[in-house]
């Protein structure tokens, strides 16, 4: 690797098909361009077309976009110009060709070809059916998804099929590692290869093929489904590892070579739970493993609980084809087997830049040289040399040698016997309890951590921090672990993280602990599994004791304290050459006094609700269970609430209150108190004195308005208020916290999305310091601070909002780290000029003269004039200083409401990054692009263009006629005011047009689209979409997929398109067209037209409007539910082709006229309900046997006479519910045009044989018939 030319940046507009620069460049192509980089480190961006990009030396970043792009590193013959290139394909079927450096190739979408060329390359196919060719060097190939080809080529390669798309993994030459699942095919090729096959339980069962090829290969197969792996070892002496997760269909070896120099079977993992010291697991007495002859094959079978167990039985874990069972036993090993040569690694040498080096699972050597390098070595016994710069070195498993060298390094040895050398700088070294390790940090303020997550902990660890103020963290371990630690010179801190039973803790010795004031510290905050961390553990509760043993002091711990009997004192650690009497409270981070006396008395409650009150003495009050009231009185008391919600009051004296579990109320009152809420939603107050309040767990409320206090929220969403005259320190801790302070206070939000407010003085003076970290924080500055200043420092990721409340703001706010790169930090000044901001009348930075920016060295001053340019009572004053930011660097995206600080109303162009961020437009016509990350983009005023880019984005158009494009992934688009165009793109998107006549296009995916107000045009696109037109006369189009479309209010046109769609007219006189597929069309109660189209459709109307229902092709169901009304409606219904059903349901007073046509096929006309006033006329009824049918099962009558009466050329279908003798008259149910009554038969009537009174059929040839 070699150093590249210095990186510079130049934005160029290409006007020809070829652009070439000699120095480093940043260019973006027009459509279909040929981009040529120079010898420096270039950034080249393709267009929507089919582009060609060449890096031509240096470490280049080349991005495809739309179209089928051709991207090539094109390193020159001179090695000094062969850089590390990043090639990204994005959309389209792209070709990415690396050079002679170690390149990063990412195909993104499409069916891509990636060729790493020479060097240790990283290739990732992402989506699509891709071809990945590693070429020469030690390459990593990852296919993620699709039917891909992964070819490692020469070198030690890692091939990883991430999501199982029936890929082919071909390792090629070298000792390769192939990882995948049961959908893939594996070819190891030449070399000693590792092939690991894993299936998921829900994965479809397949037959997996794997061929190790030449060399000594290692196969590991774990099936959680019903699949089968057929493995061919090929040449060499191969090892087959048996896992416990072998599926019932098994693991088949086609060419197993038995015998002393043949293949071998590693049963160590399979027999991990078996005590091998008791005998051969294959003996009949033990009965765990046995070979069984099955025809010409051998089955190797395993019984999990052996011959003496009854819970399990033998199952086949391996089939060896063509092998005699008697020859297998000598090939089986109960120890771990490593094929010869399989761990032989390579040497990786970086250059002087910031390099990312990914190694192999073999025994490798890594040399980072200069720069801040990141090395992930993988398994194996590796050597890692960081060199100059702040390096991150990860040895992973294996016995590793790691040297950080110069700079502030981070080194992690992982499991194994490791040697870690920090060198100069402030280093962080860590290793697991899984071997004999040495950690030597060298000079600097270092952090040494020992512990880890190894399931079996053992070994000896030697820690040497060296010169500097170091922190050493010693985690829990069993007695099999011995730790010897030396802090070196400086004030060192030793933390014991011993969560388990201390009877089982490690042997820990501190060899050079410095006692007394200014000496070293013991941090016992995580040392007691039963001790509740309140009070003085050296006091009456008797948890801790110091014991002198010769020249050494031993710190001992009793798990249940002096009051308990289940445990006794055990050793925690030894302080070499330290006398117990030389230790003071200054040597304990929590301030514990090792010489503290016992309390005068201990008052203990019951399991119920107790009221315990102390006196003037120093007492310990213990509530135990129930909702207790503990009142300390005078003296330095310790009160412990225990379970349930308790009330604790310290009284006078320096008290310690601990709430325990439950929702507690704790008041320190007078004195310098320590108050800890514990678990539950607690309310804490300090009272007079300098207090320490800690909410601990859950959502707590902390207040303290007197003294100089320390308030910590801990875990949960806390509310902390300190508004007194003291100088308080407030730490929100984890969670989304709300902190309020004033002059002289320090407010630290901690992790989470926090709200910090500074707006009080209470007579205090001094600047307010506000601190943030990761998360989107909101800082509010009130005017009550008078002339006190506020300093805000937030260096974490996240978009912060700085809010100025209305008022005079005589003090100044200073923001030390304002995020410009991600355009995620914003300043909210609306409240200062409400008469402008509320009405959006104009830009207050412009001619109105309310706000302005001034340069002050390398900083920016934000000034406000309360009455603007038109007033004379006020003048500009500074309210905000933004460090390290010039006025020209600020734009409308940094001001809430989109006010452009340059005073203009012009729009802005803003392109996001790969982070998740908030991007704001201005009051003009803006172009905003989120690029990568989960972005939130606001257009505000103007006719804006908003693009989401990749990931899940939210786009808000605001005022104006905007264009919103979601592009990749699952986006949310909100047009808001104006006539907007919303394009969802790929992914499951949500589109809301808002007010105005909008155009919505869902694109690919299962989208949700709402037109909102106005006459909207909505195109659902591909996928199963949900569409709501909203108010207005809308046009809705379902497109592909099974869609649900609602017209909403207004006269709408709704087209289902392909797929089985559901169309709803809702309110209004709409036209619904189902299109292809089996659709459901619901016309509602208006006057509508329903066209079923092709497929077996359902068409419905209710009410009695003037409607037309046309089934089209297919066996359709037409349902007409007529209701009573004064004015008669008319409905035209046509079944169309095939056998259709037309159902008419009438209310008692309905008078709707229905004209029906069955069309081709045997149609059924169904009458339901009690109504007899309306008419039903059938134009094309086919009478006689095999003709159309009348279904009267739904008539509201128990029996009667049904007759067919000739009336001119038509036949009347009449029904008399009580016959000729009854008082009821016959009613005409239907009129069958151009039908002779004598041609009707009983075949034309159905539905009267399901019970009830008989119905007499009259008018057919022959005698009268009784039906029913």
Given pLDDT bands bounded at 50, 70 and 90, which one contains residue 1257? low
DSSP codes joined into one string, 1110-1169: E--SS--EEEEEE---SSPPEEEEE--SSS-EEEEEE-TT---EEEEE--SS--EEEEEE
- Given this model, what pLDDT does residue 124 score? 86
pLDDT at 837 over 60: no
SS3 of the chain: helix, strand, coil, percent, to 5: 5, 35, 60
pLDDT at 22 over 50: no
Mean pLDDT of 501-526: 79
- Given this model, what pLDDT does residue 821 score? 65
DSSP codes joined into one string, 110-144: SS-EEE--SSS-EEE--SSS-EEE--SSS-EEE--
Instruction: Collect all residues with Cβ–Cβ distance below 8 Å to 13 and sequence separation of at least 6.
Output: none
* Contact between 559 and 501 (Cβ < 8 Å): yes
Higher-confidence residue of 138 and 29: namely 138
Q: Which of 229-233, 827-831, 965-969 has the highest mean pLDDT?
A: 965-969
For the chain, what is the largest distance between any 2 Cα atoms, rounded to a whole number of angstroms?
129
Angle (nearest 5°) at CA 379 between 375 and 384? 35
Token pair of 805 as six digits: 């409340």
CA distance 885 to 827: 14
* Contact between 553 and 583 (Cβ < 8 Å): yes
Given pLDDT bands bounded at 50, 70 and 90, which one contains residue 259? confident
Phi and psi at residue 81, to the nearest 5°: -110, 10
Helix (H) or strand (E) holding 835: helix 834-837
Residue 81: helix, strand or coil by DSSP? helix
Instruction: Collect all residues with Cβ–Cβ distance below 8 Å to 350 and sequence separation of at least 6.
Output: 1, 357, 366, 367, 368, 369, 371, 373
> Residue 452, Cα to own-chain centre: how many angstroms?
26
Residue showing tokens 């919505």:
1000
| First CA to last CA distance, the chain | 96
> Residue 175, Cα to own-chain centre: how many angstroms?
36
Half-sphere exposure of 298 (CA within 13 A, CB side): 19
- Given this model, what pLDDT does residue 523 score? 86
* Contact between 54 and 39 (Cβ < 8 Å): no
pLDDT at 453 over 60: no
Angle (nearest 5°) at CA 90 between 86 and 95? 70
- Given this model, what pLDDT does residue 556 score? 79
Instruction: Collect all residues with Cβ–Cβ distance below 8 Å to 283 and sequence separation of at least 6.
Output: none
Given pLDDT bands bounded at 50, 70 and 90, which one contains residue 301? confident
- Given this model, what pLDDT does residue 168 score? 86
Give pTM, 2 decimals.
Answer: 0.45
CA distance 136 to 157: 9
Nearest to 763 by CA among 803, 717, 811, 726: 726
Within 10 A of 902 (CB to CB), how many other CB atoms are there?
17
Phi and psi at residue 326, to the nearest 5°: -65, -20
**Using CB atoms within 10 A of its CB, is residue 1180 exposed (0-12), middle (13-18) or buried (19+)?**
middle
The per-residue pLDDT for range 1027-1057, each reduced to its tens digit, is 999 999 999 999 999 999 999 999 999 999 9
CA distance 972 to 987: 10
pLDDT over 70 for what percent of the chain? Answer: 84
Instruction: Collect all residues with Cβ–Cβ distance below 8 Å to 506 and sequence separation of at least 6.
Output: 433, 474, 476, 477, 478, 479, 481, 482, 483
Helix (H) or strand (E) holding 859: strand 859-864
* Contact between 678 and 693 (Cβ < 8 Å): no
Given pLDDT bands bounded at 50, 70 and 90, which one contains residue 786? low
Specify the range with the lowest mean pLDDT, choosing from 95-104, 830-839, 976-985, 1087-1096: 830-839
DSSP bridge pairs for 475:
497
- Given this model, what pLDDT does residue 946 score? 94
- Given this model, what pLDDT does residue 505 score? 60
Classify residue 837 by its DSSP letter. Answer: H
Nearest to 1100 by CA among 1163, 1144, 1140, 1034: 1144
CA distance 576 to 92: 68
Residue 292: helix, strand or coil by DSSP? strand
Given pLDDT bands bounded at 50, 70 and 90, which one contains residue 502? very low
pLDDT at 506 over 70: no
Q: Which of 126-135, 538-547, 1038-1047, 1103-1112 has the highest mean pLDDT?
A: 1038-1047
Given pLDDT bands bounded at 50, 70 and 90, which one contains residue 1094? very high
* Contact between 743 and 724 (Cβ < 8 Å): no
Mean pLDDT of 1099-1109: 85
Given pLDDT bands bounded at 50, 70 and 90, which one contains residue 7? very low
- The per-residue pLDDT of the chain, averaged, comes to 82
Instruction: Collect all residues with Cβ–Cβ distance below 8 Å to 715 and sequence separation of at least 6.
Output: 696, 697, 698, 733, 734, 735
pLDDT over 90 for what percent of the chain? Answer: 30
Q: Would you kindly state where each structural domain of the chain is located, as residue ranges?
A: 1-174, 218-342, 347-587, 599-698
Provide the strand spans (E) within 682-737: 683-685, 692-694, 701-703, 710-712, 719-721, 729-731
CA distance 791 to 785: 13
CA distance 550 to 1104: 105
Specify the range with the lowest mean pLDDT, choosing from 1098-1107, 1120-1129, 1198-1207: 1120-1129
**3-class SS string, 860-900:** EEEEECCCCCCCCCCCCEEEEEECCCCHHHCCHHHECCCCC
Mean pLDDT of 843-866: 88
Nearest to 359 by CA among 389, 322, 384: 384
Phi and psi at residue 464, to the nearest 5°: -135, 115
CA distance 359 to 139: 9
CA distance 1090 to 518: 89
Higher-confidence residue of 1112 and 807: namely 1112
Nearest to 932 by CA among 969, 962, 964, 972: 969
CA distance 930 to 921: 12
- Given this model, what pLDDT does residue 309 score? 79
């Amino acid at each position: 690797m070699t150093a590249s030319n210095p990186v510079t940046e130049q934005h160029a507009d290409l006007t020809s098909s070829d652009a070439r620069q000699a120095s480093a460049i940043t260019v973006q192509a027009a459509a279909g361009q040929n981009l040529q980089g120079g010898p420096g480190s270039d950034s080249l961006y393709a267009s929507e077309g089919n582009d060609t990009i060449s890096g031509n030396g240096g470490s280049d970043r080349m991005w495809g976009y739309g179209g089928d792009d051709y991207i090539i590193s094109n390193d020159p013959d001179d090695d000094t110009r062969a850089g590390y290139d990043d090639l990204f394909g994005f959309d389209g079927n792209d070709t990415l060709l690396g050079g002679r450096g170690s390149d990063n190739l990412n195909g993104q979408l499409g069916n891509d070809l990636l060729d790493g060329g020479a060097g240790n390359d990283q290739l990732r196919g992402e989506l699509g059916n891709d071809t990945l060719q590693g070429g020469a060097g030690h390459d990593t190939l990852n296919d993620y998804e699709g039917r891909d080809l992964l070819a490692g080529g020469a070198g030690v390669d890692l091939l990883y099929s991430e999501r199982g798309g029936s890929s082919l993994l071909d390792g090629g030459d070298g000792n390769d590692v192939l990882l995948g699942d049961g959908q893939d095919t594996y070819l190891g090729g030449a070399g000693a290869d590792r092939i690991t096959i894993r299936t998921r339980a829900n994965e479809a069962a397949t037959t997996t093929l794997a061929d190790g090829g030449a060399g000594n290969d290692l196969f590991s197969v774990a099936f959680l489904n019903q699949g089968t792996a057929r493995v061919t070892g090929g040449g060499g002496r191969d090892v087959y590892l048996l896992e416990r997760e072998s599926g019932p269909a098994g693991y088949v070896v086609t060419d197993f070579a038995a015998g002393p120099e043949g293949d071998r079977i590693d049963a160590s993992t399979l027999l991990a739970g078996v005590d091998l010291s008791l005998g051969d697991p294959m003996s009949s007495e033990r009965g765990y493993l046995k070979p069984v002859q099955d025809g010409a094959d051998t089955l190797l079978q395993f019984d999990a609980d052996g011959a003496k167990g009854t819970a399990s039985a033998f199952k086949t874990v391996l089939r060896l084809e063509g092998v005699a069972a008697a020859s297998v036993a000598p090939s089986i090993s109960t120890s771990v087997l490593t094929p010869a040569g399989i761990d032989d690694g390579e040497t990786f040498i970086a250059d002087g830049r910031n390099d990312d080096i990914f190694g192999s699972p073999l025994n490798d050597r890594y040399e980072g040289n200069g720069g801040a390098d990141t090395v992930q070595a993988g398994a194996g016994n590796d050597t890692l040399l960081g060199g100059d710069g702040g390096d991150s070195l990860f040895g992973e498993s294996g016995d590793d040698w790691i040297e950080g060298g110069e700079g502030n390094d981070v080194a992690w040895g992982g499991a194994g016997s490791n040697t870690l050398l920090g060198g100069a700088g402030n280093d962080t070294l860590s290793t697991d309890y899984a071997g004999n390790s040495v950690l030597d940090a060298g000079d600097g303020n270092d952090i040494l951590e020992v512990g880890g997550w190894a399931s079996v902990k053992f070994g000896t660890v030697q820690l040497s921090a060296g010169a500097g103020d170091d922190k050493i963290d010693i985690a829990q371990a069993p007695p099999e672990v011995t730790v010897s630690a030396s802090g070196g010179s400086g004030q060192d801190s030793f933390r014991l993280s011993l969560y388990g039973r201390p009877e089982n803790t490690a042997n820990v010795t501190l060899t050079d602990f410095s006692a007394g004031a200014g000496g070293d510290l013991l941090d016992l905050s995580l040392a007691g599994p039963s001790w509740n961390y309140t009070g003085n553990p050296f006091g009456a509760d008797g948890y801790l004791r110091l014991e002198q043993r010769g020249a050494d002091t031993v710190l001992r711990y009793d798990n249940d304290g002096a009051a308990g009997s289940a445990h006794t004192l055990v050793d925690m650690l030894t302080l070499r050459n330290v006398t117990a009497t030389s230790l003071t409270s200054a040597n304990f981070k929590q301030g514990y006094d090792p010489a503290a006396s016992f309390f005068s008395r201990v008052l203990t409650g019951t399991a119920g609700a107790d009221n315990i009150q102390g006196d003037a003495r120093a007492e310990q009050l213990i509530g135990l269970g129930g909702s207790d009231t503990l009142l300390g009185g005078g003296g330095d008391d310790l009160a412990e609430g225990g379970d349930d919600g308790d009330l604790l009051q310290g009284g006078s004296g320096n008290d310690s209150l601990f709430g325990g579990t439950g929702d507690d109320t704790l008041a320190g009152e007078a004195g310098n108190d320590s108050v800890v809420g514990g678990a539950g939603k607690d309310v804490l107050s300090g009272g007079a004195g300098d207090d320490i309040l800690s909410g601990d767990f859950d959502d707590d409320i902390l207040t303290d308005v007197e003294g100089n206090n320390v308030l910590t929220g801990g875990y949960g969403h806390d509310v902390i208020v300190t508004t007194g005259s003291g100088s308080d320190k407030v730490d929100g801790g984890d969670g989304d916290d709300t902190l309020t302070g004033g002059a002289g206070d320090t407010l630290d939000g901690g992790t989470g999305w926090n709200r910090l407010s500074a707006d009080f003085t209470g007579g205090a003076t001094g600047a307010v310091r506000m601190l943030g970290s990761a998360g989107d924080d909101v800082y509010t500055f009130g005017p009550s601070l008078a002339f006190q200043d506020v300093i805000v420092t937030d260096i974490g990721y996240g978009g912060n909002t700085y809010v100025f409340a209305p008022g005079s703001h005589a003090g100044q706010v200073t923001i030390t780290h304002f995020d410009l790169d991600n355009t995620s930090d914003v300043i909210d000044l609306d409240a200062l000029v409400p008469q402008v901001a509320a009405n959006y009348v104009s830009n207050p930075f412009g001619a109105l003269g309310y706000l302005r920016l001034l340069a002050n060295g390398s900083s920016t001053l934000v000034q406000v004039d309360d009455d603007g340019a038109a007033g004379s009572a006020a003048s500009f004053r500074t309210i905000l200083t933004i460090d390290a930011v010039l006025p020209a660097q600020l734009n409308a995206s940094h001001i809430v409401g989109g006010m452009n600080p340059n005073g203009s109303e012009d729009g802005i162009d803003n392109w996001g990054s790969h982070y998740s961020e908030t991007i704001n437009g201005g009051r003009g016509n803006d172009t905003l692009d989120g690029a990568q990350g989960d972005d939130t983009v606001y257009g505000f005023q103007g006719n804006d263009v908003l693009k989401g880019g990749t990931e899940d984005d939210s786009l808000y158009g605001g005022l104006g006629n905007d264009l919103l494009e979601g592009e990749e992934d699952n986006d949310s688009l909100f047009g808001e005011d104006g006539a907007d165009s919303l394009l969802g793109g790929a992914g499951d998107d949500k589109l809301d047009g808002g007010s105005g006549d909008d155009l919505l296009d869902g694109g690919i995916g299962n989208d949700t689209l709402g037109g909102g107000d106005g006459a909207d045009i909505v195109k659902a696109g591909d996928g199963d979409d949900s569409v709501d037109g909203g108010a207005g006369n809308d046009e809705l189009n379902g497109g592909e997929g099974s869609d649900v479309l609602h017209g909403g209010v207004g006269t709408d046109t709704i087209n289902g398109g392909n797929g089985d769609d559901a169309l709803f007219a809702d309110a209004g006189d709409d036209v619904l067209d189902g299109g292809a597929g089996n659709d459901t069309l619901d016309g509602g109660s208006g006057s509508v037209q329903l066209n079923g189209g092709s497929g077996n459709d359902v068409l419905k109307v209710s009410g009695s409007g003037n409607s037309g229902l046309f089934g089209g092709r297919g066996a359709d169901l037409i349902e007409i539910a007529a209701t009573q009304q004064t004015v008669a409606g008319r409905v035209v219904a046509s079944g169309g082709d095939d056998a259709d059903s037309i159902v008419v349901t009438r209310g008692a007073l309905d008078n709707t006229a229905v004209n029906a046509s069955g069309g081709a096929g045997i149609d059924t006309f169904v009458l339901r309900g009690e109504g007899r006033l309306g008419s039903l006329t059938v134009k094309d009824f086919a009478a006689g046997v095999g003709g159309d049918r009348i279904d009267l099962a739904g008539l509201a009558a128990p029996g009667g006479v049904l007759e067919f009466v000739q009336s001119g050329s038509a036949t009347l279908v009449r029904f008399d519910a009580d016959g000729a003798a009854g008082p009821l008259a016959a009613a005409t149910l239907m009129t069958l045009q151009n039908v002779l009554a004598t041609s009707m038969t009983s075949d034309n009537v159905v539905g009267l044989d399901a019970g009830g009174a008989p119905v007499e059929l009259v008018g057919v040839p022959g005698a009268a018939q009784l039906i029913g």
